[in-house]
Amino acid sequence: MEWAMRLRVAYYLAQALEHCSNNGRPLYHDLNAYRVLFDQDGNPRLSCFGLMKNSRDGKSYSTNLAYTPPEYQRTGRVIHESVIFSFGTILLDLLSGKHIPPTHALDLIKGKNASSLIDSHLKEHYSSEDGTEVVRLASRCLQFEPPERPNVRALVQSLAALQRKNDVPSHVMLGISQQPPLETVTNSGRSGSGSCSGFQEACSRMDLTAIHEILVKTHYRDDSSENELSFQMWTKQMQDMLNARKKGDLAFREKDFALAIERYSEFILGGVMVSPTVFARRSLAHLMSDQPDAALRDAMQAQYINPEWPTAFYLQSVALRMLNMEKEATDMMEEGAILEAKKTSRS
């Protein structure tokens, strides 16, 4: 991602946080790079899934404790300044192109070695003055004492001054083709004349048993062929991962959801293969175990892997409804219906 686009991501994200704050929703749980999505024009957007009604809504951070605000580790509470700390970790991600523990980054900055934070892929394609300013902003956001961090309005003002290439669309800077806008849907949540699928219907009823039966029957037919592996990839590690998935499938079929979560997690952590179906199955296993937050994360990950897979959207809808986020659940159901109608029309 080129430098100007990284600055745009930071600016849009700060604007989104300011908008939330101005509308009475200043708390955002576990803000990290995975919460940043891109729309059909390539513009960065903040996912609504981390928004909190109050500081008691968040029970734990999903990220490593090294990246969590110090006050959260002490009290288990999220405050306004906690969001700013997490924003600082995203600034580090944008600067470096990788995940750097805040304490290590601050040590580098104090040691006047901040230049080592800059992504080597940027080389000379960025302004050193801009880089210094972003490092300064990140350092302020990551201060140990919450009152020493800037407020979100100050972040917006500082990042506004750093915007470059304002006349260049985001999708051009990202090197992707502009996507057509999604077609509208009817009040029934369906697009055009297509009928409601069995999976959509089961999700709309929140019938977890029916969802389970369908996922068992469809097996892995929705996974792409991108996981075709060369001979060299068939290592012992690969065999271990496939065995973990096989054991997860068996547990899933037998409705031993705790074991299914454990085995699917082994497969995912192996990192050799990527499977949206595994994330979908683990998402349902979390739902069956009354863990909607974890289920939502897995369904979002399935969508990330396969952005046009209706199943991922429908599972997000179920998790959101369990979290009492009715509007967002309806939106996800409608988006899934749109994608399913498009898929049907192409077939």
Distances (CA, A) of 193 to 198, 201, 310, 337: 16, 16, 17, 11
Please count the other Cβ atoms lying within 10 Å of the Cβ belonging to residue 110.
Answer: 10
Nearest CA among 134, 67, 96, 86 for reference residue 1: 96
- Catalytic site residue from 30, 119, 249, 293: 30
CA–CA distance, 7 with 172 (Å, rounded to integer):
15
CA–CA distance, 292 with 24 (Å, rounded to integer):
24
Q: Kindly state the tokens that stand for 203.
A: 């999700």
Cβ-proximal residues to 260 (8 Å cutoff; 6+ apart), any chain: 248, 251, 252, 281, 282, 285
Beta bridge partners of 45: 37
CA–CA distance, 345 with 339 (Å, rounded to integer):
10
CA–CA distance, 121 with 114 (Å, rounded to integer):
16
DSSP at 44: E
Report which secondary-structure segment, H or E, holds 37: strand 36-38
CA–CA distance, 166 with 45 (Å, rounded to integer):
17
**Virtual CA dihedral for 7, 10, 15, 21, nearest 10 degrees?**
-160
Active-site annotation holds for 30: yes
Residues designated as active site: 30
